[in-house]
């Protein structure tokens, strides 16, 4: 009971949820089937789910509809999260236009840049604001998550401002890992590092 949940369980829950979306037609689904659809092991599926409660019926499996609701509620995606984007360059613009976010309940409600030529422009109904309005808008729009798509050299300063402004969750695309207090959650998506992992693998082949 009440064990500590491994960090890696959470992204798997997201994948299980997606597998359930594909299984709309059936009433019950077994851990074996979820495992097949997601590429994990059925014991892992059962254990991951069991961290959060008893969702299954022995002999039958998991009721698709109710498990789906349960997972949504675990992930916190049973509601809309307001998100801000900081940095409307190439990558930032692409993220602003990315439809996948809204589908999963993440709504980019504000975008910031410091380039005067961009400020005032509207992309996907979001008006690009001056970065100086950052803290103010975070409060007014009840923003809880920030996506950072700015050059590495500005990351630490912006992160410091975000934290002062009350933000606790950051998705950072810059190739740098800012120093943060332990109560802040940051996920770094570092595209070059991913390519380097692939290069390492290819390099090893001969």
Partner DNA sequence: AACTGTGAAATTATTCACAGCT
Partner DNA sequence: AGCTGTGAATAATTTCACAGTT
Applying CB under 7 A, which residues contact DNA? 1, 4, 6-9, 30-32, 40-44, 46-47, 49-50, 54-62
Residue whose CB is less far from its own copies, 160 or 194: 194
Question: What distances in angstroms separate CA 103 from CA 66, 93, 99, 127, 132, one per listed residue?
Answer: 20, 18, 7, 21, 30
Q: Which residues bind its own copies (CB under 8 A)?
A: 10-11, 13-15, 18, 38-39, 74-77, 81, 83, 90-91, 93-95, 97-98, 100-101, 103-106, 144-145, 168-171, 175, 177, 179, 185, 187, 189-205
* Burial class of residue 9, CB neighbours in 10 A (0-12, 13-18, 19+): middle
Contact 104, 110 (CB under 8 A): no
Judged by beta carbon distances under 5 to 8 A according to partner kind, the member of its own copies, DNA, none in contact with residue 139 is: none
Give dist(CA 138, CA 83) in Å, integer.
9
Residue whose CB is less far from DNA, 28 or 101: 28
Pairing of strands 28-29, 81-86: unpaired
Report in angstroms how near the CB of residue 60 gets to its own copies at its nearest.
26
Q: Which helix (DSSP H) or strand (DSSP E) does residue 148 occupy? A: strand 145-148
Residue whose CB is less far from its own copies, 54 or 203: 203
Judged by beta carbon distances under 5 to 8 A according to partner kind, the member of DNA, its own copies, none in contact with residue 111 is: none
Judged by beta carbon distances under 5 to 8 A according to partner kind, the member of its own copies, DNA, none in contact with residue 41 is: DNA
Give dist(CA 206, CA 204) in Å, integer.
5
Judged by beta carbon distances under 5 to 8 A according to partner kind, the member of DNA, its own copies, none in contact with residue 142 is: none
The interaxial angle of helices 31-38 and 42-50, nearest 10 deg, is: 110
Report in angstroms how near the CB of residue 23 gets to DNA at its nearest.
12
Report in angstroms how near the CB of residue 178 gets to its own copies at its nearest.
10
Question: What distances in angstroms separate CA 158 from CA 29, 42, 48, 146, one per listed residue?
Answer: 45, 43, 35, 11
Residue whose CB is less far from its own copies, 164 or 204: 204
Residue whose CB is less far from its own copies, 10 or 50: 10
Tokens describing residue 180: 């943060």
Residue whose CB is less far from its own copies, 117 or 204: 204
Report in angstroms how near the CB of residue 179 gets to its own copies at its nearest.
8
């Amino acid at each position: 009971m009440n064990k500590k949940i491994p960090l890696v369980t959470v992204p798997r829950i997201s994948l299980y949820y997606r597998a359930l979306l594909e299984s709309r037609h059936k009433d019950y689904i077994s851990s074996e089937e979820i495992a097949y659809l997601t590429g994990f092991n059925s014991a892992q599926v059962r254990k991951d789910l069991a961290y959060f409660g008893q969702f299954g019926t022995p002999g039958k499996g998991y009721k698709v509809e109710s498990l789906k609701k349960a997972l949504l509620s675990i992930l916190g995606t049973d509601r809309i999260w307001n998100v801000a984007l900081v940095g409307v360059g190439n990558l930032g613009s692409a993220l602003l236009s990315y439809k996948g976010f809204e589908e999963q309940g993440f709504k980019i409600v504000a975008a910031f840049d410091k380039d005067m030529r961009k400020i005032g422009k509207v992309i996907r109904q979001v008006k690009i604001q001056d970065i100086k309005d950052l803290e103010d808008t975070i409060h007014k729009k009840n923003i809880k998550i920030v996506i950072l798509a700015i050059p590495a050299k500005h990351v630490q300063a912006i992160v410091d401002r975000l934290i002062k402004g009350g933000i606790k969750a950051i998705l950072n695309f810059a190739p740098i890992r800012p120093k943060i207090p332990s109560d802040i959650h940051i996920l770094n998506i570092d595209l070059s590092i991913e390519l380097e992992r692939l290069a390492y693998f290819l390099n090893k082949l001969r």
